[in-house]
């Protein structure tokens, strides 16, 4: 079975009559079955995908197929799809069937994408390893003893292992870019307000953003072009039509750009020496190619993780209050009366990490602590944004590592939540400030595992980010 690493490759084979959408789906289903041990999927919609593939094959013959005809895609289990189950990998939503489709799903389907299933993730997207799912941990396909990253680990594994051509994930603090780094694929978090959050089960509403996993930048650009743009259901969106990312990808002049790298990121004690060396080599290569690459100071890096966790847990405390065992989701069989229904249903339905973050968020919002934590966190967020904007007044892009190390062993950070939280040290700045960021699989460690190099661009400048990323990926090959 051939694994198609790009939509363009698959379309060429379909046009030549060497394969079909039905055959593609059949091969993906076969690979998913052979790789069940990875636990990438919580549910596979095989029969439905095959029927949809048959219908799309007919549309291709009629010349009426959409832009994504031939793309087999997976969606993270916190993205709603009408009449399909969605649980955010939590017992509290076990068996829940969505009453509507998210905007991103509707837009994928309108362009004839084939959605093959929903992928495993850390419960309510709270985690950096996909060990926190209520159902099963997802294994890294490159080394089954190691985590795939999180929270969108199932989506990253689906793409890396050839179980789907692309996948959607969500990124609140690094949940696309970190697993992309660990699994060796391309992962992009768009600007906050670029992609509709309608139909995304909320973790932290001012941070959450839907993005993509792919094997190449061109597919990322095409999917992003389709799922972006204004939506009447999401008032936080930039009210403009989506840019033609895929069409304009190669029109952008990326020959001589000014790139900043955050010097504090390369000076951190916890950064793997080989990743540091890989970043330094990338910097040297860019300089040889004629780009201006200079160090800049971002002295607030040590405050990024604390700021992120104060603000996101506060928002989670509010968002997750809707799950009470009353109208839908898990209700404890031992619940008697209103108070017991709330307490027992939530105690049984939420996992340990979700409870920890709800409690932390409730604390920082409580009377007497609100100003000391939440209000101060919002002020720090503004300081971050001002500093990032000042850097972008002089530079086109910012370069830094995606992760401090390669994929770690299962259980390695179980006893130390702070150590696990620090896995996000390089990824949280982008969602704190609302800017787009991408992880590119440009490095390989001596342990055989991949690591990503991260780029960030000014808000709503995904085109420059994608164009330069495509340039780097092609330079590598």
Active site residues: 76, 151, 175
CA 12, 16, 22, 25 torsion: positive or negative?
negative
Phi first, then psi: give them for residue 182, nearest 5 degrees.
Answer: -70, -30
Among 430, 310, 325, which Cα is nearest to 373's? 310
CA 420 centroid distance within chain:
17
The vertex-192 CA angle with 320 and 469, nearest 5°, equals 125
| Residue reference for tokens 């004839």 | 112
With the CA atoms of 178, 195, 349 and 94 taken in that order, what torsion angle do they form, in degrees rounded to the nearest 10?
Answer: -110
Q: Is the peptide bond before 211 cis (omega within 30 degrees of 0)?
A: no
Query: What is the Cα–Cα distance from 473 to 5, expressed in whole angstroms?
Result: 14
Long-range contacts of 94-102 (CB under 8 A, 24+ apart): 94/134, 94/329, 94/330, 96/328, 96/329, 98/199, 100/199, 101/199, 102/196, 102/198, 102/199, 102/200
Phi first, then psi: give them for residue 200, nearest 5 degrees.
Answer: -95, 125
- Which residues are CB-contacts of 210 (< 8 A; sequence separation ≥ 6)? 79, 104, 168, 169, 170, 171, 190, 195, 196, 197, 200, 227
Query: What is the Cα–Cα distance from 301 to 62, expressed in whole angstroms?
Result: 55
The token pair that represents 252 in the structure block: 């952008």
Query: What is the Cα–Cα distance from 177 to 156, expressed in whole angstroms?
Result: 9
Cα–Cα distances in angstroms (integers) from residue 367 to residues 309, 310, 311, 320, in the given order: 19, 15, 16, 20
């Amino acid at each position: 079975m051939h694994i198609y690493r790009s939509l363009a490759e698959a379309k060429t084979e379909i046009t030549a009559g060497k394969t079909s959408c039905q055959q593609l789906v059949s091969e993906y289903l076969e690979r998913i079955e052979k790789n069940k041990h990875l636990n990438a999927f919580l549910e596979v919609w095989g029969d439905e995908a095959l029927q949809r593939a048959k219908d799309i094959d007919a549309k291709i013959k009629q010349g009426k197929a959409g832009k994504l005809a031939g793309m087999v895609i997976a969606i993270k289990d916190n993205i709603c799809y009408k009449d399909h189950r969605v649980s955010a990998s939590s017992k509290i939503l076990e068996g829940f069937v969505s009453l509507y489709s998210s905007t991103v799903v509707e837009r994928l389907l309108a362009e004839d994408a084939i959605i093959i299933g929903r992928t495993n993730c850390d419960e309510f997207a709270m985690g950096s390893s996909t060990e926190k799912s209520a159902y099963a941990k997802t294994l890294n396909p490159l080394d089954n003893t190691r985590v795939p990253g999180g929270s969108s680990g199932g989506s990253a594994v689906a793409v890396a292992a050839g179980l789907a051509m692309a996948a959607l994930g969500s990124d609140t603090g690094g949940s696309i870019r970190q697993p992309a780094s660990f699994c060796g694929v391309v992962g992009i978090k768009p600007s906050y307000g670029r992609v509709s959050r309608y139909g995304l089960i909320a973790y932290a509403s001012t941070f959450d953003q839907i993005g993509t996993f792919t094997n190449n930048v061109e597919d990322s650009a095409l999917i992003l072009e389709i799922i972006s743009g204004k939506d009447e259901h999401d008032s936080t969106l930039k009210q403009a039509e989506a840019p033609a990312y895929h069409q304009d990808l190669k029109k952008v002049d990326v020959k001589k750009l000014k790139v900043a790298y955050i010097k504090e990121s390369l000076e951190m004690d916890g950064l793997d020496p080989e990743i540091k060396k890989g970043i330094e080599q990338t910097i040297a290569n860019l300089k040889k190619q004629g780009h201006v690459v200079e160090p800049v100071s971002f002295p607030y890096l040590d405050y990024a993780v604390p700021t992120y966790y104060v603000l996101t847990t506060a928002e989670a405390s509010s968002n997750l209050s809707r799950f009470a065992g009353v109208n839908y989701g898990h209700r404890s069989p031992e619940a008697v009366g209103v108070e017991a229904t709330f307490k027992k249903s939530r105690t049984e339905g939420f996992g340990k990490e979700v409870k920890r973050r709800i409690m932390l968020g409730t604390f920082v919002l409580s009377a007497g602590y609100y100003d000391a934590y939440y209000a101060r966190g919002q002020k720090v967020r503004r300081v971050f944004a001002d500093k990032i904007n000042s850097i972008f007044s002089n530079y086109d892009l910012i370069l830094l590592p995606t992760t401090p190390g390669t994929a770690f062993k299962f259980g390695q950070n179980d006893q130390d939540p702070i150590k696990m939280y620090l896995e996000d040290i390089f990824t949280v700045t982008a969602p704190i400030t609302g800017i787009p960021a991408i992880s590119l699989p440009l490095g390989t460690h001596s342990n055989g595992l991949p690591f990503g190099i991260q780029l960030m661009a000014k808000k709503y400048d995904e085109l420059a980010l994608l164009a330069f990323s495509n340039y780097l990926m092609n330079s590598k090959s």
